[in-house]
Amino acid sequence: MDNLVSIILPVYNGENFLKESIDSVLAQTYKNFEFIIINDGSTDRSDLIIREYLINSKIKYISRENKGLVATLNEAILICKGDYIARMDQDDICYPTRVKSQLDFIKKNDIDVCGSSYEIIDESGRIKNIVNAFNEHFEVIISAMLVPFAHPSVMFRNIFKTKGLKYGNKKITFAEDYDLWIKMIQIDLKFGNVDDILLKYRVYGESLSRLTKENIFIEVYNNCENYNKNYKSKLISAYKNILSKEINYSFSQIIVKSVLNFLKSNGYNFIAVKLLLKISFKSLILGFSKFIRQEILHIVYMFSFLKNK
Which three-class secondary structure string do you get for 190-236? CEEEEEEEEEEEECCCCCCCHHHHHHHHHHHHHHHHHHHHHCHHHHH
Task: State the Cα–Cα distance between residues 204 and 120, nearest whole angstrom.
Answer: 10
Task: State the Cα–Cα distance between residues 288 and 286, nearest whole angstrom.
Answer: 5
Tens of pLDDT, residue by residue over 167-212, are 887 666 678 899 999 999 999 999 999 999 999 999 887 655 566 7
- Residue 121's pLDDT is what? 96
Domain positions in the chain: 5-207, 231-308
- Per the CB < 8 A criterion, the answer to whether 199 and 118 are in contact is yes
Q: Which residues contact 301 (CB under 8 A, 6 or more apart)?
A: 214, 217, 218
Q: Which residue in 280, 272, 262 sits closest to 242, CA to CA?
A: 272
Q: Which residues contact 78 (CB under 8 A, 6 or more apart)?
A: none
Number of helices and strands (H, E) in the chain?
12, 9
Tens of pLDDT, residue by residue over 199-247, are 999 988 765 556 678 888 999 999 999 999 999 999 999 999 999 998 8
Which amino acid, one-letter code, is at 258? S
Sorting pLDDT into bands at 50, 70 and 90, what band is 303?
confident
Task: State the Cα–Cα distance between residues 134 and 188, nearest whole angstrom.
Answer: 18
List, as one string, the DSSP characters of 11-37.
Answer: ESS-TTTHHHHHHHHHT-S---EEEEE
Tens of pLDDT, residue by residue over 86-115, are 999 999 999 999 999 999 999 999 999 999
CATH 3.90.550.10 holds for 5-207: yes
pLDDT over 90 (residue 34): yes
pLDDT over 70 (residue 143): yes
Q: Which residue in 208, 96, 105 sits closest to 149, CA to CA?
A: 105
Is the CA virtual torsion 98, 104, 105, 110 positive or negative?
positive
List, as one string, the DSSP characters of 127-148.
Answer: EEEEE----S-HHHHHHTT--S
Task: State the Cα–Cα distance between residues 273 and 239, nearest whole angstrom.
Answer: 10
Which amino acid, one-letter code, is at 115? G
Whether the model pTM is above 0.95: no
% of the chain with per-residue pLDDT over 90: 82
Task: State the Cα–Cα distance between residues 48 and 19, nearest whole angstrom.
Answer: 11
Residue 2, Cβ neighbours under 10 Å: how many?
Answer: 11
Classify 87 as helix, strand or coil. Answer: strand
